[in-house]
């Protein structure tokens, strides 16, 4: 088709804006409005094809107007032909992009108004083609998003299963130990087996809590908490493992540490994740040490820090630390640990900073308020 003249140019320029609109509904409404601006008509309708080629109404201008049965029959004809045409005060513009038919737009004039001219058909079809390109991108974008979400769900499931397997292993071990104690009438084994079972349950609860904390609607329940007691608990839970790794754990709390407001369980898990990361950052080192500190700061703030003298990290790793699923540990890591830390700090309206130097070590600083800020 020939295209020339000012209205054509102006319409073509307007059509370029379609690409910038990411919301499908807004895009559809805007398309109908722009066509009606250059090709005046009483009503306009947009029909989009489903995967099995059923044509469903997507938008109408003015909004809420219903197409007649007879018009719908002609819409089907336009869709099958793939060519624009005007007939008896009605204009049909198939939406085609790279040989795939997406739907049809059609416009109706009031009885007695002049018929659509070939030039108007041309302008309308040009706008419809530009709209089809933008719509296709929009559809592809939505499909990609769905695929990404599915992949993320898969990844998260993989991680949960991996963690559950570890916990199951601990449960099996506790079970065997307890049974052995009963069979051999050895109270020490029974005691150790039961202690391991208690630890298993704590790990399970921790995993459930972490998964919950990553959901969108999770809300903290702030209460008065005892930070030195949380550090003591962490010490009790990690000492055996640290000894196994030959890593020294150094816990220190400022004397007279006041009670603070917050969510004790989430702060415990945040610290646990930081210490676990530190454990994992050591390769053979003779003076391996992790310092865990709770400090009182000015102006009703306090700080929790976890500092190691392990591998440190590169700029690239530091820049991506808090991204979901970012891990440098291959199958051993899922890249959710620091996300849990970041979520916890955010929910306490605090901040987290990281200092790290390759070959020297890493320090995570959680800067928190003593009083939980009220959210309105
Ligand atoms: N103390 C640290 N020293 C060096 N690198 C670290 C340290 N803490 C975190 N990192 C880096 O940050 C990455 C992300 O940590 P994150 O805890 O989110 O995930 P992960 O430990 O890999 O997996 P997981 O979900 O099991 O915790 C790690 O893979 C690691 O490369
Ligand atoms: Mg981790």
Give the 3-state DSSP-derived string for 210-276, with helices as H, strands as E and coil as C: HHHHCCCCCCCCCEEECHHHHHHHHHHHHHHHHHHHCCEEEEEECCCCCCEEECHHHHHHHHHHHHH
Closest CA to 267 of 279, 277, 255, 275: 275
Distance 57 CA to ligand 2 centre (A): 49
Mean pLDDT of the chain: 90
Counting ligands in written order, the one closest to the CA of 310 is 1
Q: What's the half-sphere exposure (Cβ side, CA atoms, 13 Å) at 365? A: 11
CA distance 308 to 315: 17
Confidence of residue 165 (pLDDT cuts 50, 70, 90): confident
Distance 314 CA to ligand 2 centre (A): 16
Is pLDDT above 50 for 1? no
Pocket of ligand 1 (CB under 6 A): 273, 277-278, 281, 308, 310-311, 313, 317, 321, 326-329, 333-338, 362
Averaged pLDDT, 346-366 = 95
CA distance 303 to 227: 10
* Nearest atom of ligand 1 to the alpha carbon of 338: 18
Closest CA to 272 of 189, 216, 333, 341: 341
Q: Give the H or E element holding residue 304.
A: strand 301-308
Q: pLDDT higher for 6 or 134?
A: 134
Confidence of residue 374 (pLDDT cuts 50, 70, 90): low
What's the pLDDT at 4? 52
Averaged pLDDT, 115-130 = 94
Averaged pLDDT, 105-111 = 94
pLDDT in tens, 181-219: 999 999 999 999 999 999 899 989 888 888 887 777 777
Whether 88 contacts 116, CB under 8 Å: no
* Least trusted range by pLDDT, from 83-97, 143-157, 158-172, 268-282: 143-157
Confidence of residue 376 (pLDDT cuts 50, 70, 90): very low
Q: Whose CA is nearest to atom 28 of ligand 1?
A: 327
Q: Whose CA is nearest to atom 1 of ligand 1?
A: 278
Q: Collect contacts of 71-75 with beta carbons under 8 A, ≥24 apart.
A: 71/45, 71/106, 71/108, 72/47, 74/106, 75/45, 75/47, 75/104, 75/106
pTM of the model: 0.63
Is pLDDT above 70 for 30? yes
What's the pLDDT at 2? 46
Distance 283 CA to ligand 1 centre (A): 14
Is pLDDT above 60 for 3? no
* Nearest atom of ligand 1 to the alpha carbon of 335: 19
Is pLDDT above 60 for 315? yes
* Nearest atom of ligand 1 to the alpha carbon of 328: 29
Averaged pLDDT, 253-281 = 94
């Amino acid at each position: 088709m020939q295209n020339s003249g000012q209205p054509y140019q102006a319409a073509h320029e307007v059509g370029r804006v379609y690409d910038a609109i990411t919301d499908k509904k807004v895009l559809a409404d805007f398309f109908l409005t722009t066509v009606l601006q250059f090709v005046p008509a009483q009503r306009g309708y947009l029909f989009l094809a489903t995967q099995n080629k059923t044509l469903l109404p997507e938008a109408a201008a003015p909004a809420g107007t219903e197409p007649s049965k007879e018009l719908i029959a002609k819409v089907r004809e336009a869709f099958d032909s793939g060519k624009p045409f005007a007939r008896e005060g009605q204009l049909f513009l198939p939406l085609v992009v790279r040989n795939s038919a997406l739907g049809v737009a059609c416009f109706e004039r009031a009885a007695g108004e002049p018929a659509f001219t070939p030039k108007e058909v041309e302008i309308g079809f040009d706008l419809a083609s530009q709209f089809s390109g933008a719509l296709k991108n929009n559809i592809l974008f939505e499909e990609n998003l769905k695929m990404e979400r599915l992949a993320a769900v898969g990844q998260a499931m993989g991680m949960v299963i991996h963690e559950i397997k570890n916990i199951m292993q601990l449960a099996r071990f506790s079970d065997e130990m307890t049974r052995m104690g009963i069979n051999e009438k050895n109270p020490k084994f029974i005691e150790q087996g039961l202690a391991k079972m208690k630890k298993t349950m704590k790990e399970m609860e921790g995993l459930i809590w972490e998964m919950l904390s990553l959901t969108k609607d999770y809300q903290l329940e702030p209460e008065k908490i005892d930070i030195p007691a949380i550090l003591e608990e962490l010490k009790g839970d990690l000492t055996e493992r640290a000894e196994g790794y030959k890593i020294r754990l150094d816990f220190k709390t400022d004397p007279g540490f006041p009670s603070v407001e917050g969510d004790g369980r989430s702060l415990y898990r945040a610290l646990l994740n930081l210490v676990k990361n530190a454990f994992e950052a050591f390769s053979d080192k003779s003076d391996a040490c992790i310092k865990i500190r709770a400090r009182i700061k000015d102006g009703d703030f306090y700080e929790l820090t976890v500092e190691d003298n392990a591998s440190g990290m590169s700029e690239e790793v530091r820049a991506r630390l808090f991204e979901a699923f970012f891990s440098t540990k291959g199958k051993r890591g899922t890249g959710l640990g620091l996300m849990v830390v970041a979520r916890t700090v955010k929910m306490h309206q605090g901040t987290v900073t990281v200092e790290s130097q390759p070959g020297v070590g890493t320090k995570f600083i959680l800067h928190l308020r003593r009083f939980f800020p009220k959210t309105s």
